[in-house]
Structure 1
């Protein structure tokens, strides 16, 4: 069930509950066992991204065939660009807020005044190659207010140096980058990591495929860091009379891990075969390759 998410200083109260999730995962399904089946990738010389494995629009996965075999370059649609923009706003806002605190801005009101939400949103739009959107500014301001509240809460308990305050007020590692090669993946970019909870930020509605992405990130982190990642958190951002975040905790157990690994293997074999899987029985006209499959340039 979804929960309303209260953000306090870049951390999420629901993380306490998610971190308490306990799942049974056999040693053979841990990412650090990447040299042995079933985690070991098939020796096909194919590398995929987590997004490639999870998919999104194409049921037959002709999109992957066109991208990896034919070499078609898909232009992201408006929704994809907006999603990338919101991701950048999240990442850049938290990074800038932490930088300000580390620099000595340790009073909430001063932090809000010092933080430039418009600049954060503008830089995010440039990085995402998207149009600047007022909702990005709204999100940046929202994050600043929540972080400021956390800064004041920390200060009220006991004196602390700026570095300590920053680490406690903004403990989320935004955009956690992992080398995915041991799993046959490309460079893996998890949206965030909070201790041992992997985080995926989404704009839109809940989808089961988003939970599958968490399994991919967890396996990649385990392969790289050799620490268990048993839980994830999907965070959905909505703008309806203000910023609203909703959280969905996910236990990254054996079933989810097997599903990701089996899909990875199947799609690697699809690409290695070079065979066109054909059109999807239900083509989504939002797919960035729709025009390529149905006439016109992609």
Structure 2
């Protein structure tokens, strides 16, 4: 999911990256200025990036219910499925890297078979997670997740192997480390400490493309404008820790069309501009204020399928 097509690379190189140079980013909104700008959190409250960037509840009352009223609700079926797909990718990429580091490049010819052998274990683990949830998923839902996981795993194995073979064919003399950094230039579930920005000290960015310093965030639902806040939050944290500019984010949308042999992947590339940075900080401040002052923001006018609906209506 984190391999970009040739068209996407051209779009990044010819459009987005030059645009970031022309527009620039205000220094006050760079993560490394957390100590002397509006980036400094208003309260001593640490929140996960997902909670700050979550705008499914328009008023933020879900945050109030969680933190002030101490309401706990089980994860939805969609949330558990999304978590399973995230975990699969967090396992697959490091497994491929470990095999090459341990066995050397000679293992590459056998890599497709070895990685596919791990699929059955991933499916068993996924079914265990589904069985342990409180909402008691149907057998049909469990089979759907297993089928989707099989499609996703097979697709990503093919992408991993294709990338590795492409670089092996291009370079005659290539070290194991160089091969991995060329063919798999991203770190999945990259741990970050968000304490400087009033965020959790145990954050996990879905993927960071180390070649282009680009943050990727995986979503499994319908496209929403506030989804860009997630990658923005991780970019601010990365800047606060390493003082390296992160100018571009990418929201990766994963879906599984019926009767389609592979997953469908759509990527939303965007500049992490002053506006979206400001939006993230405003959301953080608003939700921290809500928790600190124990202020009930009122019910959301359009609850939809909100998990907290029964506590509001």
Query: Cα RMSD (Å) of the superposition?
Result: 2.1
Match of residue 168 from structure 1: 182
Query: Are the equivalent residues in 2 in contact too, given 1:108–1:149 (CA < 8 A)?
Result: no
Secondary structure in structure 2 of the residue aligned to 1:41: coil
Residues 99 and 107, structure 2, Cα contact 8 Å, conserved in 1: no
User: Aligned pair 1:191/2:206, yes or no?
Assistant: yes
Q: How does 1:1-298 map to 2 (within 5 A)?
A: 11-13=3-5, 14-15=8-9, 17-18=11-12, 21=17, 22-23=19-20, 24-42=24-42, 44-102=43-101, 103-104=103-104, 106=106, 109-115=109-115, 116-123=118-125, 133-157=146-170, 158-186=172-200, 187-195=202-210, 196-240=213-257, 241=260, 242-284=262-304, 286-294=305-313
**Higher helix content, 1 or 2:** 2
- In the TM superposition, residue 218 of structure 1 has moved relative to its aligned partner by 0.8
The answer as to whether partners of 1:107 and 1:148 remain within 8 angstroms in 2 is no
Give the drift of 1:15: 4.9
1:118 Cα shift? 2.4
Q: Distance in 1 between matches of 2:177 and 2:62?
A: 46
Could you say what secondary structure the match of 1:248 adopts? strand
Using the alignment, how far apart are the partners of 1:36 and 1:228 within structure 2?
17
Partner Cα distance (1:168, 1:125) in 2: 34
TM-score by length of 1: 0.88
Deviation at residue 119 of structure 1 after TM alignment: 2.2
Question: How many matched pairs?
Answer: 284
- Kept after mapping to 2: 8 A contact 1:85/1:125: no
In structure 2, distance between residues paired with 1:156 and 1:55: 44
Unaligned runs of 5+ in 2: 134-141
* CA 16–208 in structure 1, closer or farther in 2 if over 3 Å, else same: same
